[in-house]
């Protein structure tokens, strides 16, 4: 049962690590890499929040956890591509 939770943690962490590593080297991120990374992060976050919510006795926590994960995923998917390719000089 916990092996799927560990897999979801690994998928989420790997997706974030891949984008951060690529951005740290100064390379421009392509859509063919960022969209699967955001998708992997979304899947991982939803599974983790669902797992945690299923372990909680309060049913309201299920809704809160799933809504939070989906809002974070939607913000990341909608704004992530625009924000991640900014350089420090563009931000100033």
> Residue 10: what pLDDT?
93
The 10s digit of each residue's pLDDT in 13-57 is 998 888 878 877 777 778 788 888 888 888 888 888 778 877 888
> Residue 92: what pLDDT?
46
* Percent residues over pLDDT 90 in the chain: 7
Q: Tell me the C-alpha distance between 57 and 63, whole Å.
A: 12
Considering the chain, what is the average pLDDT of its residues?
78
């Amino acid at each position: 049962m916990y092996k799927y939770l560990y897999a979801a943690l690994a998928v989420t962490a790997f997706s974030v690590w891949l984008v951060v590593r690529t951005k740290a080297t100064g390379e421009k991120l392509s859509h063919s890499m960022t969209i699967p990374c955001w998708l992997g992060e979304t899947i991982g976050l939803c599974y983790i929040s669902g797992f945690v919510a299923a372990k909680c006795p309060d049913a309201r926590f299920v809704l809160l956890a799933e809504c939070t994960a989906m809002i974070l995923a939607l913000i990341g998917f909608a704004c992530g591509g625009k924000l991640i390719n900014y350089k420090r000089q563009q931000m100033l």
